[in-house]
Structure formats: C-alpha cells, structure tokens
C-alpha cells in the first residue's frame, strides 16, 4: 500500500516509533507504487549523492546482509543489526523526502514557501547620470533609466518594462537588466525576472554592491515565488554572510531564517 502524505511527513519529521518505522519501511520496500515514488526522490539532484553515500556507509557498517525483497522478514524487535541498518538508511531517505516536501510535491510546501516572497518594492540602486537629456551631452540613456526608475517607484511596472525594453544590457552598470528583472518580478513573470536578475551577477563589468546585492535579493524572492525554495535558500545564505552595511543584508538574513523554519530544516549559523 502506498504511503500517504501523513506517513511521509511523519518520516520527514522523525515522528515515528521503532515499530511504526519498521512497518513503513516494509511497505516502502515492497509496494511498487512506493518504489516508484522513492525512485523519483532519488532522482532529485539536491542531496542525492549525500543520501546514497549514507546508504552505502550504512551497508558497510552493518554486519548483517540486506535481505532479498522476497525473503521473509525477521521481527524488528529481535533483529537489532538489521533494524540498525534500516534506521541508518532511513536517515538518508528522510533527507531526500525533506527535499520532496520542500519542493512542493505534497501540495503544501510550495504554497507555504512561495508566500514568503516579498511583495514590497524597494531599491537601493538608483540610476547614475542626469535625469533629463542635456543637448550638449550623450545623456539619453541616463534619462531613460531615470524614467524607468521613477515608474517603478510609482509601481508602474508595465511602463518601466516598456521604457527598458530595447536598451543595451551591457551599459549602465547592470541597471537595465536589474530594473527589467524587478519589473517582471512585480508583474509575476518569474521566468523572465530570473533570466535578467541571474544575468546581472554574471556581468563582468558590474561590481557595485548595491546592484549585485539588489539583484540577488530579487532573484531569491523570484525563486521562492516560482516554487524553488532550496535554490532561494542558497542565495539567501550567501547574502546573509555579506557585510552588515550591504543593502538587503538584514532582510536576507530574516528571510533565510523564516524559509528554513518553513522547510523544517536548521539554518546554518553565521560565523
């Protein structure tokens, strides 16, 4: 019989006694549907190698062989070596199931973590240069950037997108792609937001911390809103280790803690 959501969550949170654990593992190993579910879990990239190594280590340290699926089971209460192996294997399994839960396969993880994504517009990377075109200088791009910036300040994100579309991506210190990514984020077009925001941090000419940090902040939130909490956590963990005077550092630290709590994992402590 396939394990249901409650039973999988019980494994995730370690809320099972030895007898129930043995029963759940028996069903996981012998039910074709559960085996298929396990195969999906193992196929996940995150924690896959760590989980498999944990399983291999459990096998090496156990003096008892793993029985063939068709073999008759010995009662867990009288087979301590085998139960120890299975318990060790469960630790690896729970790590993978945790990824499954966090990724939204239960239909609750994605919703819970996506709700953490910011809805508040904030910018610490204003355009550089004049706000209006000076006929004696080449300032048209600067004026367009200020127009887009002011449109975003007024939450006119469609207007900002219209202004920014077609501007050169390799100019203005990464701000064109940053503002486009932010505008798409607030328009809930997360794929295009991620396309631009992730590109900002790859641009060799961008070194200003306000631009890079702001791009990382909205990229993490776009990943959250798009149902990718583990990828968001990776970015937030890096942001919270940045200097305290960096923009969005406090917000990133707070969001990282809330996200880890929502996923039921321990957040790493900052050195």
In the chain, the domains with their CATH numbers are 5-102 (no CATH), 140-263 (1.25.40.10)
Cβ atoms 215, 187 nearer than 8 A:
no
Q: What is the pLDDT of residue 142?
A: 86
DSSP calls for 225-246: HTT-HHHHHHHHHHHHTS-TTS
pTM over the 0.75 mark: no
CA dihedral 121, 123, 129, 135 (to 10 degrees): 0
Instruction: Encode the chain (271 residues) as per-residue pLDDT tens digits.
Output: 566 656 655 665 566 676 777 777 777 666 655 545 444 433 443 454 555 455 556 555 554 444 443 333 333 333 444 444 454 445 555 555 555 444 444 444 444 789 999 999 999 999 988 887 765 555 788 889 999 999 999 999 999 999 999 898 876 689 999 999 999 999 999 999 999 999 998 888 888 889 999 999 999 999 999 999 989 999 999 998 888 889 899 999 999 999 998 887 766 554 4
Cβ atoms 94, 12 nearer than 8 A:
yes
Cβ atoms 229, 113 nearer than 8 A:
yes
DSSP calls for 111-155: HHHHTTS------S----S-SS--TTS--HHHHHHHHHHHHHHTT
Residue 117 burial (10 A CB sphere; 0-12, 13-18, 19+): buried
């Amino acid at each position: 019989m396939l394990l249901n959501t409650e039973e999988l969550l019980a494994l995730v949170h370690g809320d099972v006694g030895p007898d129930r654990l043995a029963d759940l593992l028996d069903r996981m190993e012998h039910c074709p549907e559960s085996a298929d579910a396990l195969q999906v879990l193992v196929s996940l990239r995150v924690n896959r190698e760590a989980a498999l190594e944990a399983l291999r280590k459990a096998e090496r340290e156990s003096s008892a062989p793993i029985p063939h699926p068709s073999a008759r089971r010995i009662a867990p209460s009288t087979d301590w070596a085998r139960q120890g192996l299975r318990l060790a294997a469960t630790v690896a399994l729970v790590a993978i199931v945790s990824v499954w839960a966090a990724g939204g396969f239960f239909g609750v993880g994605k919703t819970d973590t996506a709700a953490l994504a910011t809805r508040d517009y904030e910018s610490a990377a204003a355009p550089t240069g004049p706000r209006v075109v000076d006929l004696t200088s080449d300032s048209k791009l600067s004026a367009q950037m200020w127009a887009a910036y002011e449109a975003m300040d007024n939450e006119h994100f469609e207007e900002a997108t219209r202004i920014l579309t077609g501007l050169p991506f390799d100019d203005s210190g990464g701000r064109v792609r940053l503002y486009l990514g932010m505008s798409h984020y607030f328009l809930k077009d997360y794929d295009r937001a991620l396309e631009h925001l992730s590109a900002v941090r790859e641009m060799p000419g961008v070194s200003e911390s306000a631009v890079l940090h702001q791009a990382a902040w909205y990229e993490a939130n776009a990943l959250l809103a798009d149902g990718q909490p583990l990828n968001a956590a990776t970015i937030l963990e890096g942001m919270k280790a940045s200097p305290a005077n960096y923009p969005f550092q406090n917000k990133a630290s707070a969001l990282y803690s809330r996200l880890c709590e929502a996923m039921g994992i321990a957040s790493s402590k900052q050195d």
